[in-house]
Chains A and B, each alone.
Chain A
Amino acid sequence: AQKVTQAQTEISVVEKEDVTLDCVYETRDTTYYLFWYKQPPSGELVFLIRRNSFDEQNEISGRYSWNFQKSTSSFNFTITASQVVDSAVYFCALSGVWTGNQFYFGTGTSLTVIP
C-alpha cells in the first residue's frame, strides 16, 4: 500500500524558533520519489523539494533542511529560524515508479509562525 502520514495537524511556533515537520511513508516500490510542497493562503501548492529513494543525503537550502531516512521510512522537514512568511500548510507526497507514478499526499501540517 502507498500511504503518507503527517501526524502533526497543526503547529504553532514563535518567530525565530526552529520547527520540524514529520512525514512517514509506506510503499511497496523499491524506486520512489518523495516531495514536500508548501500551500500558502493563496491556495497553490509550491514545490519545495524532490528526493529519490536511492539518495539518502540530507539536503539544506537556506533555512530549509530535509532528513531522509529509509530505515524509518521518514522524510522530515526542518525550518530554521522560522519567519511569519513560513506560515502555510505543508504537504509531504510520495510517487512510486511501479504504482503508475501516482502522487500520494499526506493530510498536511498547518504551520503558524507567531510574530
Chain B
Amino acid sequence: ETGVTQTPRHLVMGMTNKKSLKCEQHLGHNAMYWYKQSAKKPLELMFVYSLEERVENNSVPSRFSPECPNSSHLFLHLHTLQPEDSALYLCASSQGTGGSPQGYTFGSGTRLTVV
C-alpha cells in the first residue's frame, strides 16, 4: 500500500472513446501531480495541483483534461487520444510542491493503451 491509489491499473481505449483515470491519496498531502512515463524517455510532468488549484500545465494537449475536486482526489479525463499517448500514467502527491523530505509519493500507475 503506497498511500496513493490509482484506478484502473490497465486501460485499453479506442481513439474515439472518453475515459477517466482516478487518483486518490489519504496521506494528508496538499499537492498532486500527473506524470506520463513513456518507454526510453524521462518522466514528463503533465499537471500540478496545489491546494486544489492548478499551478502548472506543461503544454499538455487539450485531449487531456485534469480535475481536482478536493485535496484527496485527482482525475485525468481522456478523449480522442492518439496511439502515441499510450504510456504509463503516474499520479503523485506531496506536502507542498517543493522537494519535501520524502519527495513525492507515487501511485502504481495506469497502463494506458490507445488502439
Contact = CB atoms under 8 A, between A and B. Distances in A.
Given A4-B42, A42-B108, A107-B41, A101 B90 contact: no
Q: Most chain-A Cβ atoms within 10 A of its Cβ — which of B45, B48, B98, B102?
A: B98
Contacts of A44: 2, 4, 90, 106-109
A105 B103 contact: no
Contact of A47 (B9, B88, B90, B102): B102
A103 interface: yes
Interface in A32-61: 32-33, 35, 37, 42-47, 50, 52
Contacts of B109: 43-44
A102 B45 CA distance: 8
Contacts of B102: 47, 50
Interface residues of B, number: 26
Contact of B99 (A4, A35, A43, A108): A35
B7 interface: no
Contacts of B92: 45
B105 A47 contact: yes
B99 A106 contact: no
B88 A35 contact: no
Interface in B1-50: 2, 4, 9, 40-43, 45, 48
Contacts of B101: 50
B104 interface: yes
A3 to B, nearest CB: 9
Contact of B56 (A93, A100, A104, A108): A100
Leading 4 A-B pairs by shortest Cβ distance: A33-B99, A95-B99, A45-B106, A101-B98
Given A44-B107, A93-B103, A101-B98, 14 more contacts: A37-B103, A43-B111, A45-B92, A46-B106, A47-B104, A91-B43, A95-B99, A101-B99, A102-B45, A102-B48, A103-B99, A103-B104, A106-B42, A107-B40
